[in-house]
Structure 1
Amino acid sequence: MITVLDTYPDIRRILRAPLAERTELLRAMLEPVTDMYRYFPGEVDLVAMHQMASGFPLDRDEQRCLDALETLAQADAWSRIQRALEDALTAQLAATPDIQVPDITVLFVLGDPGDAHFMGPCLGMTANGSMPGFIVITLWPFAENVERLEATAVHELNHNLRYSPGGVVWNPMTVTVGEHVVSEGLADAFARQLYGDELGYARIGVPALRDDAVFAKVLTGLDITGMQNFTAWVHGDASAERYGATPVGLPTGAGYAAGNRLVDAYLAATGRTAAQALHADSAEIIATALRK
């Protein structure tokens, strides 16, 4: 079962509440996704994680956020995400009927308009679907983001199903940049399978999509292990600097762009669809894509 939490009334209530009450109201709203952090060492502060992920602020920009929240409500955002995920799961099960599908809880929250990195390089959207059973989408309602709500949700569903029990194992210590890059390409390919190229590409990867120099640079990092090293290679230098990682000379979304190129070459060579390739081995995808 897929449950998209109805965060609209909660966010509105938080933004209208006295400042002293907002933190605990936010904590209560986030409680349903506590288990998303079950593998983290120690107790996780849900409010701190919300802030780290560029979630809406608690102490400023109230009216701007309330107006943005109404834009999402008028766009029927929550229902659109629910329908898109259900339709995508149907399409995925048609291609891979034997996969294990967890119950999935989806947290959709408004982003922080005062976060320059979120609003700039990230184009007003961050998301995480890699923890089986949970999807979190943080979004500012730029028109392009609202238009791509369904594709964004489906992209994250692909991650969730790839790493669910019976699928690909993500070991934080041994996983490679190549796996992360391929996973972004597969997730985009699945979104494009359902919604076409105009909507299906993650926006941050589009500028570098046909940049051969960026592609070649990403290829040099595919064998790097340890997810603490991934930010620059996948999301780019701006995100690396934001989170205290070492830049490597790549633009925002470089890994997404490279992942799309690798996956498209693999799908073309094998005749498979993105849905059929859900659990394909990343090393096989890379080898097939680069085979001359």
Structure 2
Amino acid sequence: MSITVVDTYSAMRRILMAPPADRAHLLRSMLEANKGMYRYHPGEIDLVAAHLQTSGFPLDRDEERCLDALDTLAAAGAWTRMRRALDDALAVLLEATPGLQAPDITVLLVLGDPGDDHFMGPCKGLTGFGGISGHIAITFWPYPENLERLKATAAHELHHNLRWAPGGVVWDPTTVTVGDHIVGEGLADAFARQLYGDDLGPARIGVPHLHDDEVFGKVLTGLDVTGMQNFTAWVHGDPSAERFGLTPVGLPMGAGYAAGNRLVDTYLAATGQTAAQALHADSAEIIATTLRRG
């Protein structure tokens, strides 16, 4: 298998410096590399609309701010660091899971929208999507804390990609539960922590609630919820649910990530496994192990 980190730096710089009328076409060309990420989307996907709806950099404002952010990413060696992190993480997963069949993966690091208050605030300038086999997309604003966690973020998304790849854990939209999603986030965070430590490994949105028993208890009440439209509130929290017009459930931002970390850590401690070895661990067994231990 191979991992391709697309040179989105050059493409985004070209887009942001182009006449406004040409930007959508150039952006669409850049995003084509990850079009397969939307293969389960009903009907034809408008890549530019999807980019804008998911906090991607704007095409009609904030050009200088975005160009400055691109320069910050380039100065930090972001694309090289991501490529090395993904190669290192893959080697660890392959060693831990003999016979692992990994797909070719295309990775897009895309600048976020500095004018999007939800992205820059509650999301802390970072969203990632690695759940569709063969594709990883990371929307990023170069806050210092995000730059420090860049390699851990890449490892987190790679764990998702290989957990739900063909031959791995099946994500069936008709039966998948909040618990399945939360366990996946917990395992991906545990893998990032395995490689980069407890300071850099956890997703930032979950950190404030890692030790909050009330939040953990509330999340446990939703583990059997099905219907992927319900997952945002339980996994990401009310701020994201409200942003997308979904029903909040009374949870803070990142609650599901925090709960997932606790569920997974209990399981790993009980079994003596690493997060890499638990790549394909059954979410029901992980949850049951934690609940048995109280």
TM-score, length-scaled by structure 2: 0.99
> In structure 1, what is the equivalent of residue 120 of structure 2?
119
Structure 1 Cα separation of the partners of residues 125 and 36 of structure 2: 26
> In structure 2, what is the equivalent of residue 284 of structure 1?
285
* CA offsets 1:143-185 (integer angstroms, 9 cap, x no match): 0000100000000000000000111110112100000000000
Kindly indicate whether residue 130 of structure 2 is the aligned counterpart of residue 135 of structure 1: no
Alignment of 1:22-171 (within 5 A): 22-171=23-172
> In structure 1, what is the equivalent of residue 250 of structure 2?
249
Note the residue ranges of structure 2 that are not aligned, 5 or more in a row: none
Moved over 6 A (4+): none
Structure 2 Cα separation of the partners of residues 36 and 146 of structure 1: 25
Amino acid at match of 2:86: L
* CA offsets 1:67-99 (integer angstroms, 9 cap, x no match): 000000000000100000000000001100211
Structure 1 Cα separation of the partners of residues 265 and 53 of structure 2: 33
Structure 2 Cα separation of the partners of residues 206 and 253 of structure 1: 8
Amino acid at match of 1:137: I
Structure 2 Cα separation of the partners of residues 98 and 258 of structure 1: 30
Amino acid at match of 2:70: L
1:244 positional shift:
1.3
> In structure 1, what is the equivalent of residue 189 of structure 2?
188
1:227 positional shift:
1.0
Structure 2 Cα separation of the partners of residues 277 and 29 of structure 1: 34
Structure 2 Cα separation of the partners of residues 166 and 237 of structure 1: 34
Q: How many residues align?
A: 292
> In structure 1, what is the equivalent of residue 208 of structure 2?
207
1:131 positional shift:
0.2
Amino acid at match of 1:117: H
Structure 2 Cα separation of the partners of residues 260 and 278 of structure 1: 14
SS state at 1:207 partner: helix
Structure 2 Cα separation of the partners of residues 102 and 244 of structure 1: 34
* CA offsets 1:2-44 (integer angstroms, 9 cap, x no match): 0000000110011011010001010011111111111111100
Structure 1 Cα separation of the partners of residues 8 and 281 of structure 2: 35
Structure 2 Cα separation of the partners of residues 127 and 243 of structure 1: 17
Instruction: Give the RMSD, CA atoms, in angstroms.
Output: 0.5
> In structure 2, what is the equivalent of residue 172 of structure 1?
173
Structure 2 Cα separation of the partners of residues 264 and 253 of structure 1: 17
Structure 2 Cα separation of the partners of residues 279 and 243 of structure 1: 31
> In structure 2, what is the equivalent of residue 12 of structure 1?
13
Structure 2 Cα separation of the partners of residues 185 and 38 of structure 1: 26
Structure 1 Cα separation of the partners of residues 78 and 19 of structure 2: 27
Structure 1 Cα separation of the partners of residues 13 and 129 of structure 2: 23
SS state at 1:136 partner: strand
User: What is the identity percentage for the equivalent residue pairs of Structure 1 and Structure 2?
Assistant: 74
TM-score, length-scaled by structure 1: 0.99
1:207 positional shift:
0.3
> In structure 2, what is the equivalent of residue 197 of structure 1?
198
1:53 positional shift:
1.3
Amino acid at match of 1:24: H
Kindly indicate whether residue 262 of structure 2 is the aligned counterpart of residue 261 of structure 1: yes
1:217 positional shift:
0.1
